[in-house]
Amino acid sequence: MSTESKVQSCEPTKRRGRPVGAGIDPAKRQKIMEGAHRVFHDFGFDTASMQQIAQTAGVSKGTLYVYFANKEDLFEALVDSQRELMFGDLKKVAETAPTLEQGLLDYGMLFTRKVLSDNGITAQRVLLGVVDRQPELGLQFYERGPARGHKLLQTLLDRFNKLEACDIADTGLAAYQFAELCLAQNYRQRLFGWQPEATSEDDISKVVNAAVSLFMKAYAFVRPETGIKTATE
Amino acid sequence: MSTESKVQSCEPTKRRGRPVGAGIDPAKRQKIMEGAHRVFHDFGFDTASMQQIAQTAGVSKGTLYVYFANKEDLFEALVDSQRELMFGDLKKVAETAPTLEQGLLDYGMLFTRKVLSDNGITAQRVLLGVVDRQPELGLQFYERGPARGHKLLQTLLDRFNKLEACDIADTGLAAYQFAELCLAQNYRQRLFGWQPEATSEDDISKVVNAAVSLFMKAYAFVRPETGIKTATE
Amino acid sequence: MSTESKVQSCEPTKRRGRPVGAGIDPAKRQKIMEGAHRVFHDFGFDTASMQQIAQTAGVSKGTLYVYFANKEDLFEALVDSQRELMFGDLKKVAETAPTLEQGLLDYGMLFTRKVLSDNGITAQRVLLGVVDRQPELGLQFYERGPARGHKLLQTLLDRFNKLEACDIADTGLAAYQFAELCLAQNYRQRLFGWQPEATSEDDISKVVNAAVSLFMKAYAFVRPETGIKTATE
Amino acid sequence: MSTESKVQSCEPTKRRGRPVGAGIDPAKRQKIMEGAHRVFHDFGFDTASMQQIAQTAGVSKGTLYVYFANKEDLFEALVDSQRELMFGDLKKVAETAPTLEQGLLDYGMLFTRKVLSDNGITAQRVLLGVVDRQPELGLQFYERGPARGHKLLQTLLDRFNKLEACDIADTGLAAYQFAELCLAQNYRQRLFGWQPEATSEDDISKVVNAAVSLFMKAYAFVRPETGIKTATE
DNA sequence: TATGAATGAGGGTTCATTCAT
DNA sequence: CATGAATGAACCCTCATTCAT
């Protein structure tokens, strides 16, 4: 969210004609979103109050409605920016990996760190609490977030498939599998609050390494020197 | 009153005649929980109203409070029953599996079906929306649900480890990995609403089979007739 | 209240036809009133709940309505019994006093003790909280309580007026004055909770003695041996 | 959001943006208090509803909470203002009285009028109904009201004691006695609703005069020209 | 007669949103 | 544009009373 002020600035609100020429000052918009993040984080969507968001952001309640049509709008903008933060820089990793193993490792570490981060977990939690009532929000988040990440990973696998570094029949499924292996143990523990603190870098590293190892063992050609390759499926 | 008699205490306490676990009629209790399930499902914890729940369940608002102390209590009871439904019958599968492969397959199918079921997903979603403010609820759910499932799976792996059907250095992590592989692709899609319909039995089967296959390839001894075993790690 | 079970037993309730043959068992009636006293005492009329009264009395909520038509009825019965307790035994003191001074002293002590007692103060407080909405209750209490006490005292003064032990032009007012002098300092302090503990016997004695002394000085003939009398007014 | 910025604290606290003493418009505040006065008067604290108060005052229920944190707060403000009204201007009377008799008369009339006024009686009644559950309210009222009045009266007596206009051993008790004498007959009658109408000026005058007379007779030096003084005690 | 589960109106309070300044 | 006082619907929960057993 910190790097993001003009993204929404031109979506002129949806409900009623009120704030048509809304959202002039990007800095104020930013301030509001920071306050909102904090409050949504601490209280969840329903329990967060616009009053408190206004206070936390240091603006008046009325100003909130100048920049955002309503509570949901504000929340949506927040989800957008969070998502961007989480999946933004996976792209270059996926596209520049020199070897499959290295690519998986780098991608896995980056991805896992983001998904398990405090902000990431909280955002997902709050979002999930709203998804039943605001399905579009979940859809949008998933499509622009996890789905995009998945595509990148699949592309990576396709690339090395072509390079004959591995032999994966269903790169789509394989990509999901790898992602899930990276989150093993920690994702649901974090989500449900069983791990209250952010997962340590060491733990992440351990799991990601195990994921890469298991994945390579199952899908990659091994021991090129023996000339014998082991394909999957 | 000058003569005190043995009447009860009566200090100015809150929570006076509250229903301790009251509510005699199990059928009515069930009715309430079904109504509550529907409403919590459709609206989430905060937005669901007791009024609505009462209507849906076909009882009066007051009756709700005869059977449950408050909204949270009702929700907790709901989460409890959902959890039990989800993780209840994994036990026998894990303990009676004849072979590792069969055990993984059976466990995986059962587990995955439950976790991805409509009820399961909804319950998790609603719960996750509340976890930030009611951490105990999440803890309890995780401990009595996923954590218990994980223990069972680990026990299964340990058993076959001892039988030398496989060679898994860290059965704890491996159990997590297998579970996550079973949920690959579908879990987060379901959670975020990208898959609005319950995952089809075919899709589940496909993913679980792939999970077993990948897991076996990576961890199990293969083709005992060749005399050559491939260990992990 | 402890000594009082049959007083109300024949007032067959007022509202609706429900408990017509109500209130059979005097012991149970007594039990209820004791519980009610306790709860009304601790919570006041509005905040006291029938539920709690039932619990405290050790009977069921339904039973309450067998013995009393409703909450107000129960409260009224309670007020009646309290009043009786407070003003019951002033009569004999007023009628048998050998001298004015002794009569004032005895009457004053008895009266003051009762009015300032914990039960007395609480009962008055609770009653006063209801008086605006149930004026009859206050009227009845005052008439059957303080007014009766006042009459007794006036009779006492009249008696000694006739005996030429004193010369009081307006015995009605004088009686009020004496009563008020006895309550000086303590009554309002107790009422408003400034004196949380029951006024000590010593303090009561001190004030009552001062009241008698002041009253005698103002109204009584002094020093009969000098032959000089000092009249009031 | 990742960059924390200096937004405010926002720990999950209750009492968020509550109106500290908010409510800018004094006229509206006054309007509310008048409405509240009427409703509390007619119904007592517990039975008065905020809804009703809002209606009576001609504002919305929400507005009530802009000006007062809650029902108790509103009631307290009301009690405060009533008390001030009752005891506010006794001071100058006590400090400027030229003679003891005149001082007692003026003080007595003012004091009695206030205490027995409709507003005064009602306020006391309502307050007394709450005192058991909100002892601080009673304490505060007594301390800032009756206690202050008593101090003033005692000071008056002390002054004339020094001037040798009277000889009062215990001016504290004497002050209480005088106050009580002024309220004789009427105070409890008014409190319990036996005198539904405000006591007439004539009646007050009669009782206060009698009080002064009795008090002077008992405590003051009389007929300085005879050289014979009659002291108390 | 005694019970206590059931009722539903009504309580205090909160809060997203509006709008006059 | 920015403000925050005002609104009123809706929230969770309580409780006097009823009534089937």
Tens-place pLDDT, residues B189-198: 999 999 988 8
Residue D83: how many CB atoms within 10 A of its CB?
A: 23
Helix (H) or strand (E) holding B173: helix B171-183
More confident of the two residues D62 and D87: D62
Q: Which of D7, D16, D18, D20 is the best substitution to test chain A (most A C-beta atoms within 10 A)?
A: D7
**A150 near A91, Cβ under 8 Å?**
no
> Which of the nucleotides lies closest to A62 (Cα–C1')?
F3
Q: Is residue D180's pLDDT more than 90?
A: yes
Size of interface C-D (CB pairs under 8 A): 165
Contacts (Cβ under 8 Å, ≥6 apart) of B183: A180, B112, B115, B116, B207
What pLDDT score does B222 carry? 56
Q: Is residue B142's pLDDT more than 70?
A: yes
Please answer yes or no on whether B1 and C52 come within 8 Å at the CB atom.
Answer: no
Question: Quick one: pLDDT band at residue B224, thresholds 50, 70, 90?
Answer: very low
Span B75-89, mean pLDDT?
82
Helix (H, G, I), strand (E, B) or coil at C220: strand
Q: How far is A179 from chain D (nearest CA, A)?
A: 24
In this structure, of B98-107, C80-89, D159-168, the range with the lowest mean pLDDT score is C80-89
Q: What angle do CA C29, C35, C36 make, to 5 degrees?
A: 85
* Neighboring chain C residues of B14 at a CB cutoff of 8 Å: none
Q: What angle do CA C203, C207, C208 make, to 5 degrees?
A: 115
Q: How far is the CA of D69 from the C1' of E14 (A)?
A: 12
Please answer yes or no on whether B10 and C37 come within 8 Å at the CB atom.
Answer: no
Residue C227: how many CB atoms within 10 A of its CB?
A: 6
Backbone angles phi, psi at A166, to 5 degrees: -155, 170
Chain A: which residues have CB within 8 Å of chain D?
1-2, 31, 33-35, 37-39, 41-43, 49, 51-52, 55-58, 78, 81-82, 85, 119
Q: How far is the CA of B131 from the C1' of F1 (A)?
A: 39
| C and A touch per CB criterion (3+ pairs under 8 A) | no
Span B169-189, mean pLDDT?
95
Nucleotides on chain E that have an atom closer than 7 A to a protein CB are 1-20
In this structure, of B10-14, B205-209, D68-72, D216-220, the range with the lowest mean pLDDT score is B10-14
Q: How far is B154 from chain C (nearest CA, A)?
A: 52
**pLDDT, tens only, C89-104:** 788 888 888 999 999 9
Q: Which of A177, A186, A216 is the best substitution to test chain B (most B C-beta atoms within 10 A)?
A: A177
Residue B219: how many CB atoms within 10 A of its CB?
A: 28
Helix (H, G, I), strand (E, B) or coil at D21: coil
The chain D residue lying nearest A5, using CA atoms, is: D1
> Which of the nucleotides lies closest to A65 (Cα–C1')?
E17
DSSP bridge partners of B220: B166
In this structure, of A102-106, B97-101, B228-232, D67-71, the range with the lowest mean pLDDT score is B228-232
Please answer yes or no on whether B214 and A218 come within 8 Å at the CB atom.
Answer: yes
Please answer yes or no on whether D177 and C218 come within 8 Å at the CB atom.
Answer: no
Give the C-alpha separation, C29 to B208, whole Å.
71
User: What would you report as the CA-atom Rg of chain B, rounded to the nearest whole angstrom?
Assistant: 23
Q: How far is the CA of D76 from the C1' of F5 (A)?
A: 23
Q: How far is the CA of C43 from the C1' of E7 (A)?
A: 25
| D and A touch per CB criterion (3+ pairs under 8 A) | yes
Q: How far is the CA of D93 from the C1' of E9 (A)?
A: 52
Residue B59 identity (one-letter amino acid): V
What pLDDT score does B233 carry? 35
The chain B residue lying nearest C58, using CA atoms, is: B7
By C-alpha distance, which of C53, C32, C31, C33 is closest to C42? C53
Nearest to C35 among B7, B11, B17 (CB): B7
**pLDDT, tens only, C55-80:** 999 999 999 999 999 998 999 888 88
* Neighboring chain C residues of B3 at a CB cutoff of 8 Å: 2, 34
Nucleotides on chain F that have an atom closer than 7 A to a protein CB are 1-20
Question: Quick one: pLDDT band at residue C45, thresholds 50, 70, 90?
Answer: confident
Question: Quick one: pLDDT band at residue C22, thresholds 50, 70, 90?
Answer: low
For chain D, the maximum distance between any two Cα atoms, rounded to a whole number of angstroms, is 95
> Which of the nucleotides lies closest to B27 (Cα–C1')?
E5
Chain D: which residues have CB within 8 Å of chain A?
1-5, 7-8, 10-12, 16-17
Question: Quick one: pLDDT band at residue C159, thresholds 50, 70, 90?
Answer: very high
Q: What angle do CA D206, D211, D216 make, to 5 degrees?
A: 130
Give the C-alpha separation, D50 to D131, whole Å.
20
**A86 near A193, Cβ under 8 Å?**
no
Give the C-alpha separation, A28 to A177, whole Å.
42
What pLDDT score does D18 carry? 39
The chain D residue lying nearest C150, using CA atoms, is: D185
**pLDDT, tens only, A113-134:** 989 988 888 888 888 888 887 8
Nearest to D7 among A51, A58, A78 (CB): A58
| C and B touch per CB criterion (3+ pairs under 8 A) | yes
Q: Is residue D219's pLDDT more than 60?
A: yes
Q: How far is C163 from chain D (nearest CA, A)?
A: 22
Q: How far is B10 from chain A (nearest CA, A)?
A: 35
Q: What is the 3-state secondary structure (H, E, C) of chain A?
A: CCCCCCCCCCCCCCCCCCCCCCCCCHHHHHHHHHHHHHHHHHHHHHHCCHHHHHHHHCCCHHHHHHHCCCHHHHHHHHHHHHHHHHHCCHHHHHHHCCCHHHHHHHHHHHHHHHHHCHHHHHHHHHHHHHHCCCHHHHHHHHHHHHHHHHHHHHHHHHHHHHCCCECCCCHHHHHHHHHHHHHCCHHHHHHCCCCCCCCCHHHHHHHHHHHHHHHHHHHECCCHHHCCCCCCC
Nearest to C38 among B10, B16, B17 (CB): B10
What pLDDT score does A20 carry? 41
What pLDDT score does D22 carry? 56
Please answer yes or no on whether D132 and C44 come within 8 Å at the CB atom.
Answer: yes
**pLDDT, tens only, D89-125:** 788 888 888 999 999 999 999 999 999 988 888 889 8
Q: How far is D57 from chain A (nearest CA, A)?
A: 26
- List all chains that touch chain A, counting a touch as 3 or more CB pairs closer than 8 Å: B, D
What pLDDT score does C230 carry? 42
Residue C82 identity (one-letter amino acid): Q
DSSP secondary structure letters along B59-113: S-HHHHHHH-SSHHHHHHHHHHHHHHHHHTTHHHHHHH-SSHHHHHHHHHHHHHH
Tell me what percent of chain C is helix, strand and coil, each rounded to the nearest 5. 70, 0, 30
Q: How far is the CA of D196 from the C1' of E20 (A)?
A: 46
Please answer yes or no on whether C46 and D41 come within 8 Å at the CB atom.
Answer: no
Size of interface B-C (CB pairs under 8 A): 45
The chain B residue lying nearest C40, using CA atoms, is: B10
pLDDT averaged over chain C? 82
Give the C-alpha separation, C149 to A121, whole Å.
75
**pLDDT, tens only, C104-125:** 999 999 999 999 988 888 888 8
Contacts by B139-146 with C-beta closer than 8 Å and gap 24+?
A: B139/A192, B139/A193, B139/A194, B140/B76, B140/B79, B141/A192, B141/B79, B141/B83, B142/A188, B142/A189, B142/A192, B142/A193, B142/A194, B143/A194, B144/B80, B144/B83, B144/B87, B145/B83, B145/B86, B145/B87, B146/A188, B146/A189, B146/A192, B146/B87
Q: How far is the CA of D114 from the C1' of F13 (A)?
A: 41
Q: Could you tell me the two tokens for C100?
A: 């004015």
Residues in chain D: 233
More confident of the two residues D83 and C160: C160
Please answer yes or no on whether D132 and C42 come within 8 Å at the CB atom.
Answer: yes
Q: Is residue B48's pLDDT more than 80?
A: yes
Nearest to C34 among B1, B11, B12 (CB): B1
Place of tokens 């509202």: C15
Quick one: residue D232, left, alpha or beta (phi over 0 = left, psi -120 to 50 = alpha)?
beta
Give the C-alpha separation, C8 to D40, whole Å.
32
Q: Is residue B228's pLDDT more than 70?
A: no
pLDDT averaged over chain B? 83
Please answer yes or no on whether B193 and A130 come within 8 Å at the CB atom.
Answer: no
Helix (H) or strand (E) holding B118: helix B118-130
What pLDDT score does A131 carry? 86
Q: Is residue C162's pLDDT more than 70?
A: yes
The chain B residue lying nearest A122, using CA atoms, is: B132
Give the C-alpha separation, A46 to B126, whole Å.
12
What pLDDT score does D222 carry? 56
* Residue spans of chain A under pLDDT 70: 1-23, 86-88, 222-233
Q: How far is the CA of B49 from the C1' of F10 (A)?
A: 9
User: Which of B14-18, B69-73, B207-211, D38-42: highest mean pLDDT?
Assistant: B207-211
Give the C-alpha separation, C213 to C195, whole Å.
25
Q: pTM for this structure?
A: 0.78
Q: How far is the CA of B62 from the C1' of E9 (A)?
A: 11
